[in-house]
Amino acid sequence: MSHYLSTKPIPLRERLIMALDLPSIDEAKSLVEELGDSVCFYKVGLELFMAGDYFGLIDWLKARGNKVFVDLKFFDVPETVARAVRALSGKGVEFATVHGNDAIMRSAAQEKGPLKILAVTVLTSLDRGDLDDLGFACDVEKLVVSRARRALALGCDGVISSGLEAPMLRNEVDDKLLVISPGIRPVENRTVDDQKRVVTVEQAFRNGADYIVVGRPIRDAQQRKEAAERVQSQIAATFGERA
């Protein structure tokens, strides 16, 4: 069933976002060069932010023709977040993540310029027990939908959300909302890691994701470019069946 398959005009090969979760800028560049044209969209997060020339890496990626997603999950007083987003909006990146309440999301949206702001709903490393510990009495799904609705109303462009919750988002939130799904495992997850709410590539898109974020399954593969191309083939096959 492909009821929720994205119809947004996104080039197929851009629907895969590779997470550059590596300890150094040099290792990140080496991986990008190894992957070559198998990946054209990269997520750069907190680990690389602490590793050195973060914005130099972003400029290097852009010079190669890659798109960039800045995943720093801005969370601070609203004015500080607004200033951070304003500074980032001129850097030529596609997406940035914001984590927080309505005032934080509103401030980010007001300063985004050409940048698309993605609100974090519920981290894919959290499950029901974790939410209980944090004091959230509602279901994961209800929390995700509530945060997504508010994010869109406040001017954000999309959300980071597990593919497990994507169908509910498509049912209950305006389709213009971008849904970016991390926690992707190309086959059913059989290993122990810190992602608890995971889906396969095909499941994520059939559930309504516009983009997927893949990290370890490519980064830790013996043949990393081949692993990336397998994901691209799975994406192409999934969308090729839409007609």
- The domain total for the chain is 1
Please state the pTM of the whole predicted model.
0.89
User: How far apart are the C-alpha atoms of 139 and 39, rounded to whole Å?
Assistant: 35
User: How far apart are the C-alpha atoms of 192 and 25, rounded to whole Å?
Assistant: 27
> Please, what's the b/e burial string for 176-206 (b: 16 or more CB within 10 A of its CB; e: otherwise)?
ebbbbbbbbbbeebeeeeebbbbbbbbbbbb
pLDDT of residue 135: 62
Question: Does residue 26 sit within a domain?
Answer: yes
CATH number, residue 217: 3.20.20.70
Question: Does residue 2 sit within a domain?
Answer: no
pLDDT of residue 82: 98
**pLDDT (tens digit, 9 = 90+) per residue, 91-129?**
999 999 999 889 999 999 999 999 999 998 755 455 556
Answer yes or no: is pLDDT of 185 > 90: no
User: CB count, 10 Å around CB of 107?
Assistant: 26
Domain containing residue 95: 12-240
Reported as a pLDDT band with limits 50, 70 and 90, residue 165 is confident
Reported as a pLDDT band with limits 50, 70 and 90, residue 243 is very low
**pLDDT (tens digit, 9 = 90+) per residue, 207-222?**
999 999 999 999 999 9
SS3 61: helix
User: How far apart are the C-alpha atoms of 136 and 129, rounded to whole Å?
Assistant: 10
SS3 60: helix
Say which amino acid occupies 128: R
Question: Does residue 7 sit within a domain?
Answer: no
**pLDDT (tens digit, 9 = 90+) per residue, 19-60?**
999 999 999 999 999 999 999 999 999 999 999 999 999 999
pLDDT of residue 192: 45
Question: Does residue 3 sit within a domain?
Answer: no
Structure tokens at 175: 């389709």
Closest CA to 102 of 151, 138, 45, 67: 151
pLDDT of residue 129: 64
Say which amino acid occupies 32: V
**Quick one: which H or E segment has residue 13?**
none
pLDDT of residue 242: 47
**Quick one: which H or E segment has residue 116?**
strand 116-120
Q: Give yes or no for a contact between 238 and 201, defined as CB atoms under 8 angstroms apart.
A: yes
Question: Does residue 52 sit within a domain?
Answer: yes
The lowest-confidence range among 13-27, 138-152, 189-203 is 189-203
Answer yes or no: is pLDDT of 194 > 80: no
Is pLDDT larger for residue 69 or for residue 138? 69
Average of per-residue pLDDT across 134-150: 75
Backbone angles phi and psi of 4, in degrees to 5? -100, 10
Torsion of CA 229, 210, 147, 85, to 10 degrees: 80
Q: Give yes or no for a contact between 120 and 96, defined as CB atoms under 8 angstroms apart.
A: no
Question: Does residue 19 sit within a domain?
Answer: yes
Question: Does residue 6 sit within a domain?
Answer: no
User: How far apart are the C-alpha atoms of 228 and 18, rounded to whole Å?
Assistant: 9
pLDDT of residue 114: 96
Residues with catalytic roles: 73
Question: Does residue 233 sit within a domain?
Answer: yes
